[in-house]
Amino acid sequence: MKLFSFLFIVSLSLLLSSCEFNCSIGKKDEVTGAAEVKDGARIYNSIQLNASGVKVDKAYLLFDNSQRVPDDNFVDFKGPVKMQILIDSGWVEENGKVLLGASEKIVTEKGEVVLEEADLFQKYPDGISVEDSKSIYLSASLKLKEGMPPTSFTVSFRIWDKKGDGFVEGSYKLYSK
């Protein structure tokens, strides 16, 4: 069993040199491209999305420099990939604030969990402004070692209202070039 654990850690360290999660809030640029429309929401980059109690306007992927990720989700992993979700309505507001939680998990194509974060918004215990809660970014940063063969990762996420029943959850795949 110790040998298996050691081999798992070594193989994981060969696969990735670093990982990082991040989140932010606030509205950014308009997005164009091929979209699937689901329950009135425009969803790009083959994001699998389920929402309850919240009306989603748009969901898409972009790079740190605000350029859209190509529709095929092939990236070079030299910088973070952000998912932006624009919300029309549904979060519970108290005193001009919304109290959200957000989790994110990255899994390799072999099913190995690379990184998992239980609540990215725990650093906002007093909540965020109603305006900021309408534009949510979840960022995942993976850096592959030079010469790695092509691979893919599945990023799963969940954003929930800590004062209500509303949530948005789903996943998307990223492919290395």
Measured between alpha carbons, how far is 70 from 105 in angstroms, rounded to an integer?
22
Q: Where are the domains of the chain?
A: 2-176
Q: Is the pLDDT of residue 1 over 50?
A: no
Q: pLDDT band for position 143 (50/70/90)?
A: confident
For domain 2-176, the CATH architecture is Distorted Sandwich (2.70)
Tokens of 25: 């809030």
- Cβ contacts of residue 54 below 8 Å, gap of 6+? 87, 89, 90, 91, 161, 166, 167, 168
Q: What would the mean pLDDT of 63-88 be, rounded to a whole number?
A: 91
Q: If we measure between CA atoms, which residue out of 72, 46, 43 comes closest to residue 58?
A: 43
Measured between alpha carbons, how far is 44 from 57 in angstroms, rounded to an integer?
11
Instruction: Give residue-wise pLDDT tens across range 8-67.
Output: 333 333 334 444 444 545 544 455 567 788 888 999 999 999 999 999 999 999 998 889
